[in-house]
Amino acid sequence: MSLYTAETRRLGKRRFTKFLLGGVVLVLIAIAVGMFFANEKNTPATVAAAQAKADSEYQAAVRQSAQDKQTCVAAQGTPDASNWPPSCDDVYQPQTSDFQAAWYMPATFDFREQFPNMITAMAAIVAVAAFVIGASFVGAEWASGGMMNLLLWRPRRLQVLGTKLGALLVALTGLTVLLSAAWTGAFALIAGLRGSLDSMTSGAWQSILLMELRGLAVVLAAGAIGFGLASIGRHTAVAMGVAVGVVVLLQFGLYIVLSMANVGFAEVVLATTWGTAWMNKTATVTDWNSCNFSGNGGCTPDELIVNWPAAGGGLAALLVVVVGIALWTIRSRDIT
């Protein structure tokens, strides 16, 4: 327990941790403030204004349509006739349903519709921070010799690394839970002031909570993977290098190569596909080169559904491999 306490203190004392978390909080505040000012609550006045705008647009379209029909009739028997339908009755006639007031309403924050995307955004930002904090937490210790010093005090390698990882994950859990609560509260407030919470049923809240738990899992996995990679390489830069390599090679390089080779479902190599599948329960990958022709639907491309158990399984496998190798290396390698 004393080692766990010491490692928790060490993590909290690190200036890098404080600066990074400060940056994360500032970014999240900026997003929340931006969403606040980008949305407006629907009032009878805004609804009336939108309806007036829709009506006005409809009337303008009607006038344009009448003018087009006259031009079409006048063009009959002239070379310009080719620019018009064979029958001038086929000239577009606007319908009132084409000009709905809802389309002219100012943006409003519908909590049920839009907050899930906010959860994903927050999970992604905190996960990146967790990866860097995890990598730096153990990488700086290896590089500075602090880890060797610690092992002179506690010559149980697996216990030391495991306790460090445990302290990191517990701290990340606390941080993510706090941020999630603040994030939910902030957007509930934004929805109350600049949108709507009306459609939030208990089931919807439960769904939000489950999504936040999946976000927490992403944050913890990112932290543990960053920690594991830095421990394997005994330097923070190794984890950063692997991350950059994966982004450049897999996210850009491999995807571009597969796309150029017209390989189907190339998007399946993108981490965003798997991240979306995990957070939103499913993600659809489309093979734009395929064509399933039907008389009424035309060409319909093939689709591949990636679901959350597959995405979660992939994430868990990556986690087990990285942390497993980190534990194996600290157990078996000389510390020089």
Partner 1 sequence: MSAVLEIAGLQKTYRSRKGVRKALDGFDMVVEAGQVHGFLGPNGSGKTTTLRTLLGLIRPNGGRMAILGREVPQALPEVAGSVGAIVESPQFFGNFSAQDTLSLLADAGGVPRTRVFEVLELVGLRDRSKDRVKTYSLGMKQRLAVASALLKNPKLLILDEPANGLDPGGIREMRGLMAGLAESGMTVLLSSHILGEIQLICDSVTIIAAGRRVAAGSVAEVLATHASTSLRVRLEAVSDLTSSAAALRDAGAQVVVEPDHLMVSGLAQPSAVTRTLAERGVYVSELSPVTADLESVFLELTGTAPVEGSNRQVDQTVMAQAGGWGR
Residues that bind partner 1 (CB under 8 A): 2-3, 5-7, 9-10, 13-16, 140-141, 144-146, 148-156, 334-336
For 58, other C-beta atoms within 10 Å of its C-beta total 17
Instruction: Output 87 or 336, the one with its CB closest to partner 1.
Output: 336
Distance CA 249, CA 154 (A): 40
Closest distance to partner 1 from the beta carbon of 332 (Å): 8
Tokens of 72: 């079409």
Counting Cα atoms < 13 Å in the Cβ hemisphere of 214 gives 26
Task: Output the CA angle 44-48-51, nearest 5 degrees.
Answer: 140
Instruction: Output 139 or 195, the one with its CB closest to partner 1.
Output: 139
Closest distance to partner 1 from the beta carbon of 277 (Å): 39
Which amino acid, one-letter code, is at 5? T
Instruction: Output 5 or 83, the one with its CB closest to partner 1.
Output: 5
Dihedral angle of Cα 207, 213, 217, 222, to the nearest 10 degrees: 100
Closest distance to partner 1 from the beta carbon of 150 (Å): 6
Tokens of 99: 């000009």
| CA distances for 24 relative to 12, 108, 205, 283, angstroms | 15, 25, 25, 27
For 55, other C-beta atoms within 10 Å of its C-beta total 14
Instruction: Output 208 or 330, the one with its CB closest to partner 1.
Output: 330
Closest distance to partner 1 from the beta carbon of 13 (Å): 6
Tokens of 319: 């986690």
Closest distance to partner 1 from the beta carbon of 237 (Å): 16
Distance CA 122, CA 137 (A): 22
Per this entry, what is the length of the chain?
A: 336
Instruction: Output 5 or 199, the one with its CB closest to partner 1.
Output: 5
Provide the pairing of β-strand 282-294 with 195-196: unpaired
Instruction: Output 89 or 334, the one with its CB closest to partner 1.
Output: 334
Closest distance to partner 1 from the beta carbon of 155 (Å): 4
Instruction: Output 66 or 148, the one with its CB closest to partner 1.
Output: 148
Instruction: Output 155 or 298, the one with its CB closest to partner 1.
Output: 155
- Helix, strand, coil shares of the chain, percent, nearest 5, are 75, 10, 15
Q: Which residues are CB-neighbours of 192 under 8 A, at least 6 positions away?
A: none
Q: What is the DSSP string of 169-216?
A: HHHHHHHHHHHHHHHHHHHHHHHHHHEE-TT--HHHHHHHHHHHHHHH
Closest distance to partner 1 from the beta carbon of 156 (Å): 5
Closest distance to partner 1 from the beta carbon of 21 (Å): 16
Closest distance to partner 1 from the beta carbon of 336 (Å): 7
Instruction: Output 155 or 203, the one with its CB closest to partner 1.
Output: 155
Distance CA 230, CA 298 (A): 52
